[in-house]
Structure 1
Amino acid sequence: MTTYKLLIVEDERWEREGLLDFLDWASLGIEIVGAARDGIDGWERALELEPDLIITDIRMPGMDGLEMAKKIKEAMPETVIVVLTGFSDFEYARRALQTQVNQYVLKPIEEEELQRAVTEAVEECARVRRRRRDEEELRAAALEHRALAIAKLAADAMEGRLPKERAPELRKAAGFASASGAFAAIAFAGVPGLAEDDVRRAVGAPCLALPDAGGAVEHAWTVVLAADDAAARAVADGLAARLAKPGGFVRPEDAVVAVGGAADGLTEAWKSVRAARSALEYAVFWGLSGVTLPEAVEREKAAFYAEANEFLAKVGAYAKQVVYGVSALDEKKTVDAASGLFDAISSQRGAEREYVRNYLTGLYFELSMLAGDPEASEGEAAARFDRLSTLRQFRAHGLAAAKSMIAFLANKREGKDDYIVSKVNRLIETSYMSTDLSLTAAAAEVFLSPNYLGALYKKATGRTFHERLTECRMDKAKELLGRSEYKVSRVAKEVGIPNTSYFCTVFKNAVGMTPGEYQELAHR
């Protein structure tokens, strides 16, 4: 039940104390928070307690009830006021209406009349709260809409879609002095959960700030600020230092910041954004730290393309050795060749991530065809590298893939699928609690397509991957439900099904009773 705060103001002590017990205030939804002995005391207590409702006498020494009511209405216009007046106080009653008093009750006070007035006053208090809540919701919605509109304009500016006529609006929202002049972009690798306010504080200057959700670098942010090249470099240096300092967002070796060259005007800032993001992707891929500049990246690329033919010949020779090693089921030769291939790539920092990804995708697809995966495709092969952002990750994934190909091919040549199935079963048994575990995730672990693994697993075990995963989760759930300290919602989360309602449905389908029924039975 909603409760409203009441302040009683009455100079006669016996009447003041009598009012405290005159009605069943709690049943009316009222909590008496204070009592004042005159108008001056009432005014001070009202400012202190901020009551929703005030019941006051009119005639009081120092400051009468109407003067007090007027002051309170000026300071807190939504406060509901009920005045108590005698028959001889007609002029006071008339003034009460002018003072915007909500109710008045004639003395001597009748219980029924006071209850009527208080009930109507409570209804007015409720209307005031609803109106206040509606206004707050409208303000919040307006602010949210405004924030979304500004974010949309910021995204348009970074993508080259900002109309010139909207530039002044965005400039004002960002705190820029002008929409013309030099604007530069800075991109950096952040951490999960980084908020826009955190980014602005780290940058330390008025800026537009947006997360780069669609890029190759995880948790990346891009900011645009009014600055020429020198000023942007200084901000980037400061940002890198703040990111890596003790208590900062990242470890020193992971503080990666890139600057785009300054562009002329806010509507042209997208050119700097594109350069900064490209430089950041390059820096993260090659494991660089600190500040990376576009001109340094371009020098590396120029040097690489000047020697591209020699590079392709070198890595091509290693790629052939990898294919031969996998075909011969020789893990040592395969790993040695793959390591040599990645060492050759590492020696040419001018190669872009996309270039390396495309080369490795082609090699992986060739190995998949060699292994006889009927679901192999270049698109599926490319997807395996799309989620990786560093050469170190490419290397680890590539070596693991080569080893897995050998194991898969050896198993296939022997006419057995036990190796794949046992590896998937181990994955289920050790990772059932992960909400990310799926047929697609399992297929990635054994370097097969989801469709091919699904068919292989069903053929070998007589049931689907999902059926086995559900069985494992339900077995663990029954074990946990046997412990009295475990609630159903906690069990659901610990077996990888955080939606409690869905967990209960799955459990009942599998066990024949609800988790609650099973737990009650287990504890008898």
Structure 2
Amino acid sequence: MFTLLIVEDEPLIRTGLQHYFDWQALGVTRILDADNGGIGLQTALRERPDLIITDIRMPEMDGLQMLEKLRSALPDTLFIILTGFNDFDYAQRAIRLGGVHDFLLKPLEYEESLATLMNAIGTLNTRRQAREEREQLVRQANTGLGHSMVKALLDEEIAVWEMGLQELLGGLDERPVQFQPFALTWLPADGASFSRKWFREEADKLTETALAALYGAGPTAASRVLLYADGRKAYAVAVLDAGAQMSGDAARDLTLPAGWFVACGQPATGAASLPQALHDADSLLYRRFCHPERRLFLAGSEQSAVPSGRLLLANEDRQRLLDAMQGGQPECLQTLMQRLAQELRDQLAQATMDQGFAYVQEIIAVAIRFAHLHAIPVEGIYSEKLLKLTCVDDFATLEGLFDWLAAWMVHVSAVYQANNSSAQPLDTQIFEHIEAYIKAHIDQDITLQMVADRFFYNPSYLSRIFKRRLNKNYMRFVTEIRIGYAMECLKQPDYLVTDVCTMCGYKSYKHFVKTFRAITGKTPTDFRKKWGW
């Protein structure tokens, strides 16, 4: 953990010091030595030890001369003087003058010397902890500031960015710099949930990795990487020395973690062009729909499509969609949507992504007009992600997106069929589907918004259905399912109570016990005793 340098011209004393104490137990993991002040000075400047023990009287350069030269260069290093009785007053004066932490008196007395060393190590630990706390505060402040700055760029608030840059980088913005924008997204195959902190940290590390692959780790390496995370997307701006050159060849060897996609936008030399560069990087991410085998996209390497009018949904396909919804034919809908996905991917080779998204909106509009025609309440079949087309951000491939859209159309069709039959209302059936979904993801945090998106409901409308049909809110519904599952798990002697807490999606054991008692009237441990475990 700490590095020690021993400077002593007598070999016997120098070697003896290295073995006299249990340095490992004191936290010293590396020991260096020098036989005079001159070599000691060079070694200290090169290795920057945490603690230096030095004799006073040595050839070439004595210990105090060496310390005088090192004080300003190594402000965090502690110095201990190794002295005999003849130099004792001299050593005490050196300590009073400052720069020397303590002294060891020769010949060494073990207990007294150990106490001196333990005091020095304690001081080093205190300093290190204080330094780490300061650095953590600075990182947190920089993270918050960087978050606000990049968001300001996305909102085209250039003045906010420029003020933040001056505060964050100090004098750096006085020398020529350039900015490298990135957009990142994480789309795991299993749709796993994640914490904001985890996503931000992973996006930050991945940006640094991509930056090193694109620019190398030489003198043009980034001075700062500023990042803004929003849902499953992150936007980053790296501040580089002006003139830094990107190497596209290096990026070919970059291996991205599973589920991650990274787009590297055009470098910008000034703040005025940065907002557009960030938005262009964001648009580059959607090229994954054309190239499902790729996960890194570089500005300038993508072929620019020339707009040639709208991509139109054929009248025959429009009618097939309407007939399948009206006839209650889910397999037909799914097969048709997969064909449309393949056709759209082929067309995107010669079209823009905006044209592709307009095509998707046209398909959505077919189902919406069908709902209006048959008096189906829009809020019961229309999620916010469909309205704003943000659903495209949730999928890695066109096939995945169109599968989801097909499932939504099947839902619209089912509502239509239920409204025209005497069967159980679909609003009642939906609770069975939601319960099955929650049980399948019981160890995750499942929000009302997630369920609404999954089953194509407006969240407010879905919340009202819970109150109207079940006389309980969504959170109570989920809690009862989690605790019911916990009760079944507690009947199994192989599971610890803490394991059951995690398995049911609770991050806090205290909260789990409190909730379990509120629902069952017993603590999990008392409940388990009833089963003899």
Question: Normalized against structure 1, the TM-score is what?
Answer: 0.64
- The letter for the 2-side match of 1:442 is V
**d(CA) in 2 for partners of 1:383, 1:293:** 32
Is residue 2:395 matched to residue 1:398? no
- The letter for the 1-side match of 2:309 is F
Q: Shift of residue 102 of structure 1?
A: 6.6
**d(CA) in 1 for partners of 2:379, 2:180:** 46
The aligned counterpart of 1:491 is: 500
Q: Shift of residue 280 of structure 1?
A: 0.7
**d(CA) in 2 for partners of 1:257, 1:210:** 16
- The letter for the 2-side match of 1:134 is A
Q: Shift of residue 198 of structure 1?
A: 0.8
Match of 1:284, SS state, is helix
- Kept after mapping to 2: 8 A contact 1:362/1:378: no
Q: Shift of residue 509 of structure 1?
A: 0.9
- The letter for the 1-side match of 2:401 is F
**Cα–Cα, structure 1 residues 395 and 222, in superposed 2: closer, same or farther, change >3 Å?**
farther
Q: Residue by residue, what CA displacement relative to the aligned partner does 1:185-215 show, whole Å, maximum 9, x if unpaired?
A: 6767677734332121221344676667459
Question: Which of 252, 262, 267 is matched with 2:271 structurally?
Answer: 267
Q: Shift of residue 374 of structure 1?
A: 6.3
Q: Shift of residue 147 of structure 1?
A: 7.3
The aligned counterpart of 1:421 is: 431
The aligned counterpart of 1:304 is: 309
**Cα–Cα, structure 1 residues 129 and 337, in superposed 2: closer, same or farther, change >3 Å?**
closer
Q: Shift of residue 504 of structure 1?
A: 1.8
Cα-Cα RMSD: 6.1
Match of 1:387, SS state, is helix
Q: Residue by residue, what CA displacement relative to the aligned partner does 1:57-89 show, whole Å, maximum 9, x if unpaired?
A: x9xxx879xx76886797686345697859x98
Q: Shift of residue 333 of structure 1?
A: 5.6
**d(CA) in 2 for partners of 1:278, 1:31:** 48
The aligned counterpart of 2:440 is: 430
- Kept after mapping to 1: 8 A contact 2:183/2:233: no
Is residue 2:362 matched to residue 1:359? yes
The aligned counterpart of 1:21 is: none
Question: Which of 188, 201, 212 is matched with 1:201 structurally?
Answer: 212
**d(CA) in 1 for partners of 2:304, 2:28:** 72
Matches within 5 A, 1:401-412: 401-412=408-419
Q: Residue by residue, what CA displacement relative to the aligned partner does 1:274-316 show, whole Å, maximum 9, x if unpaired?
A: 57326514413434646675984341x2x134xx6xx26x25x
Question: Which of 110, 134, 140 is matched with 1:138 structurally?
Answer: 134
Which structure has the bigger radius of gyration?
Answer: 1
Match of 1:475, SS state, is helix
- The letter for the 2-side match of 1:395 is F
The aligned counterpart of 1:500 is: 509
- The letter for the 2-side match of 1:421 is F
The aligned counterpart of 1:22 is: none
The aligned counterpart of 1:318 is: 317
Q: Shift of residue 493 of structure 1?
A: 1.5
**Cα–Cα, structure 1 residues 354 and 481, in superposed 2: closer, same or farther, change >3 Å?**
same
Match of 1:297, SS state, is coil
- Kept after mapping to 1: 8 A contact 2:181/2:237: yes
**Cα–Cα, structure 1 residues 128 and 322, in superposed 2: closer, same or farther, change >3 Å?**
closer
Q: Shift of residue 505 of structure 1?
A: 1.5
- Kept after mapping to 2: 8 A contact 1:188/1:256: yes
The aligned counterpart of 2:249 is: 238
Q: Residue by residue, what CA displacement relative to the aligned partner does 1:206-255 show, whole Å, maximum 9, x if unpaired?
A: 4676667459x856767687899xx98x73x4255223xxx55469xx97
**d(CA) in 2 for partners of 1:144, 1:451:** 35
Q: 5+ residue gaps in structure 1?
A: 18-24, 34-38
Q: Shift of residue 438 of structure 1?
A: 3.6
Is residue 2:456 matched to residue 1:447? yes
The aligned counterpart of 2:518 is: 509
**Percent identity of equivalent pairs:** 15
Q: Which one is further off, 402-411 or 189-198?
A: 189-198
The aligned counterpart of 2:284 is: 280
- The letter for the 1-side match of 2:434 is V
Q: 5+ residue gaps in structure 2?
A: 30-34, 188-198
- The letter for the 2-side match of 1:511 is T
Tell me the number of residue pairs that the alignment of Structure 1 and Structure 2 aligns. Answer: 477
**d(CA) in 1 for partners of 2:450, 2:95:** 74
Q: Shift of residue 497 of structure 1?
A: 1.5
**d(CA) in 1 for partners of 2:238, 2:330:** 47
Q: Shift of residue 508 of structure 1?
A: 1.5
**Cα–Cα, structure 1 residues 161 and 202, in superposed 2: closer, same or farther, change >3 Å?**
farther
**d(CA) in 1 for partners of 2:505, 2:114:** 54
The aligned counterpart of 2:391 is: 387
Question: Normalized against structure 2, the TM-score is what?
Answer: 0.63
Q: Shift of residue 138 of structure 1?
A: 3.4
Q: Residue by residue, what CA displacement relative to the aligned partner does 1:325-355 show, whole Å, maximum 9, x if unpaired?
A: 3234344665566566656655643353542
Q: Which one is further off, 287-296 or 379-388?
A: 287-296
- Kept after mapping to 2: 8 A contact 1:259/1:292: yes
The aligned counterpart of 2:195 is: none
The aligned counterpart of 1:327 is: 326
**d(CA) in 2 for partners of 1:172, 1:249:** 36
- Kept after mapping to 1: 8 A contact 2:344/2:356: no
Match of 2:506, SS state, is coil
**Cα–Cα, structure 1 residues 240 and 212, in superposed 2: closer, same or farther, change >3 Å?**
farther
Matches within 5 A, 1:113-132: 129-131=125-127
